[in-house]
Each structure stands twice: as structure tokens, then as C-alpha cells.
Amino acid sequence: MGGVAALARAAGHEVTGCDRNVYPPMSTQLKSLGIQVHEGVDAGQLEVKPDCVVVGNVMSRGVEVVEAMLDSGMPYKSGPAWLAENVLNDRHVLAVAGTHGKTTTASMLAWILDDAGHAPGFLIGGIPTDFGTSARFGESRYFVVEADEYDTAFFDKRAKFVHYRPNTLVLNNLEYDHADIYKDMDAILWQFHQLLRTVPGNGRIVMNGADENLRRLIGQGCWTPVETFSTGGGADWTARFGDKVERHIGMQGPGGRASETRWKIGGLYNLENALAAVAAAASAGVSLEQAVDAMSRFEGVKRRMERTATVADIAIYDDFAHHPTAIAKSIRSMRKRYPGHRVVVAFEPRSNTMKLGVHNDQLAESLQGADLVWMFRPDGLPDEFYKSLRSLGGKLRVFDDYDRLVNDMSTRVLGGDQVVFMSNGGFGSARQTLTALLQRTRGS
């Protein structure tokens, strides 16, 4: 919604918004754009008498501002509907969908198109370092959108991505998630199939050829040419690392064309994301060589394994990982990039799926690769959640207070440690607090 607000501002509208809790980097972005944020969800937000209220999917019946909006009879739309009607109309939409990697892949794709001179618009669920903003109106017919499967609004329970009508669709992977919305994998597949129904026959679908659930999805019916990608071979687009530290990458496309470069990112999952972005960029006329060369200049995405500080040889990272698959991939990547160093994790379980216990059987295993794990215990998590973590043994430390968690971390981290904060929220500013505490006690 912050990105939608930025696009509306770029289109010349006066924009205000409200939320219960706004934190960096989005709060910083909104402030820099001159977008006023009303703290809270009371009816006071509507005192400006807006011409249209754009409603995010966290709003529900019974919320004061929603009830006041409905009672007043003022016009309202969902965020995706407003986006489709005011930004995506008559443009070549490149949508990135799937359970993991959407933000990074969409950022890479927007960067490749921009580096090739296409000046695309984009709406991304994070902030690409290269652009410094999560949304841009753009100067060309191309628009990159992160296509989320979460529901649209309290009055539209379809997945958000059915509004986007993409010409190019990237399908990264598909796992069970959003248990508060979807009862099982079949329900998720049904929504994704509605997305497939909107892609034109002269469009293109770029799909992870190694993903079983995506193969099931295509098997339900597809009317658009499909190109596959895989880091394991046997696909139209393939990629590999050229060295042990994952700084050299090579890619090959249909017809055997190949290109190589050095890059700054690392991680097998990021190589998959980059390969998907390179393949999707081809639908906009960007050659394999151009796209791979652009990846050598890609700087990454904020909150996606973003190194935010180094204090006394202790590296501190901010990572959005909150699903067991993403957690495990992040830890494995750090192990490979920094052999011989401890990888320590601070984790905050915030997602509705996590709170419902859907990931109880996988979470402990996903964290086993860390040397130490600090976990913040929010109110309302059932005891079964913590019982499922017993296999972590003495490496797990649980706190229900952010300050006590940070103080404990500050006494146990060592020089050379790679310290990763994992959360899809603000984590009570624990990462920033630890950084400041270490700077005071151990120097820079």
C-alpha cells in the first residue's frame, strides 16, 4: 500500500494514508514523498474528505475508519483495482508470483529493464537498493509488479494478482502458505490458476521447471507459451556458479546462447531469482548478454539479507525470511559465503501462518543450521509452537521482551559472527538496538 501511495503521488494526486504501525524503510520513503501518515485506524483519517479511498487488505469490517467510510457513501476501491485501472492499463505488465523470491526477482527484473534503457515502472514489496524506492510510475510501456496471492480486500476475497492482467508472468515456486486465507494447497492452486487464465496467448510464462506444484498448476490448463528455468539443468534457461564463493555466474538461454559475469549477491536461491528475471526480461527484448551484464551491477534489496552494520568484526544483517524454506535457504547461504564463521539468528514469528502452527513441523529443522538462535515470544503463540522447537536444545534462547533479548545477544556474540535478524515486521527495533549497544561496548 505504501507503493500504491507513491504511485498515486507520482500521478499528481494529493495522498494521505493511515496504519496502525508504520516503520522503516517504508515510513522513511513515505515521508520523503511528502505523504502524510495518520497513526491509527480511527475515522480521523477521513477528515480530509478524499475523492477516493484506496483500501488495503489489512482493513476489515468493524474497524472505525472502514465503518465511517461505508456510512459516508464515499467512493472506495481496493489497492489492486486502483492500480489496474490507473497505472497498469495499456502497459506491458511483467508480474512476478510465487511463494518465495518475489521481491528480489521483481527488483532484479526492474533493474535489468532499467539498465537496458527501458525506464520501467514498478511496484515491489520491498525497496531495491539500486532505486531507493519501492514504486515508480515509469516512462515506458513496461511495468514490473510483485504479484501477491494474498486476498485483495474485505470486499474482494480474490487473490490480488488476478487484477494485474500480466503479459509476462514469472512463477518462481509454490508452497503452502497464508493458512489464514487458504485451507490447503488445492485452494492456492485454484487461485494461481485464475491468474493463468488472465495471461494472453501471445504472452509468456516463465516457470521454475523443478517445482512440482507449478507443474501441477500448468497441468490444470494453460493457454500461454511456457519457458522453464532451473539451476539443475534440463530447462530452457539454466544457470550455474563458476566458483566456490558464488561470485561468478553463468547463464544459458534457449538456442544455446550463454553469458557470464561476476556479481555482488551470492546464494543459490538468488541465482534462481536472477535466472527468472533474465528470462522474463527477454520478453521485453533484452538480450541474454545485456541482462547478465546488468546483474553484475545489481546491489540487492533492503531487508533481503541486507548487511546493515559491522561492529568489532560482528556482521549484522536484516532479512525478511519468515517461512521455514526461506529461513533454511538464508542460513545455508551464509554458511557457504562465510565458512568457518558462526551464523547466529534472531527470529520473530509474526506471520498468521506461523501463529496458526502450520509450520511447527518444519521450523526447528530450518533453524538447525544456525549456531545460536534467539527467538522473541509474542503474546498468543500456543505452547505447541515452543514444544516443536525442543530439538534445537541449548542453541535456542527465548525472550518475551525485546530489550532482554538484545542484552543477552550482546553478551554472547563474538568477533567474526554473522548475525541475522529474521522477521517480516519491525522486530521491535532489536537489530538497531543491538548495533548501538555493540558500538558503545565494543567500539566500531
pLDDT tens for the 444 residues of the chain, in order:
989 999 999 999 999 999 987 777 778 889 889 999 998 999 999 999 999 999 999 999 999 999 999 999 999 999 999 999 999 999 999 999 998 889 999 999 999 999 999 999 999 988 888 898 889 999 999 999 999 999 999 999 999 999 999 999 999 999 877 667 888 889 999 999 999 999 999 999 999 999 999 999 999 999 999 999 999 989 999 999 988 778 899 999 998 899 999 998 888 889 999 999 999 999 999 999 999 999 999 988 877 788 899 999 999 999 887 678 888 988 988 888 889 999 999 998 876 665 665 566 788 889 999 999 999 988 877 777 778 888 899 899 999 999 999 999 999 999 999 999 998 878 888 999 999 999 999 875
d(CA 190, CA 428): 36
Q: Quote the longest CA-to-CA distance of the chain.
A: 63
Q: Rounded to whole angstroms, how far apart are CA atoms 261 and 161?
A: 33
Check if the beta carbon of residue 350 is closer than 8 Å to that of residue 425.
yes
CA dihedral 422, 424, 427, 430 (to 10 degrees): 40
pLDDT at position 207 is 97
Residue 355 pLDDT: 61
* Phi-psi domain of 62 (left: phi exceeds 0; alpha: psi -120 through 50; beta: other): left
Topology of domain 81-295, CATH:
UDP-N-acetylmuramoyl-L-alanine:D-glutamate ligase (3.40.1190)
Q: What residue spans define the domains of the chain?
A: 2-74, 81-295, 306-442
Do the two domains 2-74 and 81-295 of this chain adopt the same fold? no
Superfamily of domain 2-74: NAD(P)-binding Rossmann-like Domain (3.40.50.720)
Residue for cell digits 511447527?
Answer: 360
Q: Rounded CA gap, 27 and 430, in Å?
A: 17
Query: If phi over 0 gives left and psi between -120 and 50 gives alpha, with beta otherwise, what is residue 20?
Result: alpha
Dist. CA 138–CA 148, nearest whole Å: 21
Residue 239 pLDDT: 96
Domain 306-442 sits in CATH 3.90.190.20: yes
Per DSSP, the residues of 303-334 read TSSEEEEEETTEEEEEE---SHHHHHHHHHHH
Helix (H, G, I), strand (E, B) or coil at 240: strand
